[in-house]
Amino acid sequence: MTILVTGASGHLGRLIVERLLERGAPADSIVAGARDVSKVSIPGVRTARVDYTDPASIVAALEGVDTVMLVSSSEVGQRVDQHRAVIDAASAAGVTKLVYTSAPKATTSDLVLAPEHKATEELIAASGLPAVILRNNWYTENYAADLASAASTGVISAGVGDGRVASASREDFADAAAVVLLEDGHIGEVYELGGDVAWSYDELAEAASTILGREVEYVRVTPEEQVAALREAGLDEGTAGFVAALDAGIRDGALGDTDGTLSRLIGRPTTPLVVGLRAVA
């Protein structure tokens, strides 16, 4: 088996490569794909240029590869075409397993990020590639900026209301990807992956208080108040609206479900919120 991991210069992609090695994959069976291979240096692991906007680079990277870990692009609004390039190349190369990092309930969710993931899942299905879909919930590391801000302000402000988030650490999600890549028996599965505990933002504030050693309060704001504050902080109207839409999705329950699938896959409990936040403090 030879595994191509795309986005290997990013946080999740690099962790997937590391978890593959820790779970016993030989280094020479892994290809770390990145737009800029100078940003990838993992002993024994071959690198290949993989630029989602350059199909020729993907075709070249797939030479001798039978398994592809497609880490979703971070370029919102361009993801579908970028993912299509990988899917088409993988199909032409006769790849026997493709694993994709999607979003929670991608085909039915109202989350503003879901449509591009839904479209990608549909492309994978239409391609006929043997595939596994990993619908990852939020990464706990996403809250590093909130923690840093709370250190000086004592406040975490958001428009999520009483919504809950079943986050886990990137390491947890990377470990699940490694399991699915290395094991037989997962083809055709769609895994909804989240942390063992779905926490509220009041609990996020409590966790921040514990880590920072000062009282942190969760302040609820309306979408209008949130957009105004983000605009005042320098964000353009489109970006501010996008952030507010993400919070609205959380408020409406898009990230609040968890059934233990992630911990079952990785064979251990997921990383608790406080532990995950402390790692990025």
Determine what percent of the chain is predicted with pLDDT higher than 70.
100
Range 225-234 average pLDDT: 91
Residues 169, 139 contacting (CB under 8 angstroms)? yes
| Of 250, 262, 158, the residue nearest 208 (C-alpha) | 158
Give pLDDT tens digits for 82-96.
Answer: 999 999 999 999 999
Give pLDDT tens digits for 237-248.
Answer: 999 999 999 999
The pLDDT assigned to 281 comes to 86
In this prediction, residue 108 has a pLDDT band, given cuts at 50, 70 and 90, of very high
Determine what percent of the chain is predicted with pLDDT higher than 90.
96
The pLDDT assigned to 233 comes to 85
Assess whether pLDDT exceeds 90 at residue 235.
no
Give pLDDT tens digits for 13-29.
Answer: 999 999 999 999 999 99
Domains of the chain with CATH codes: 3-136 (3.40.50.720), 137-168+194-256+271-281 (3.90.25.10)
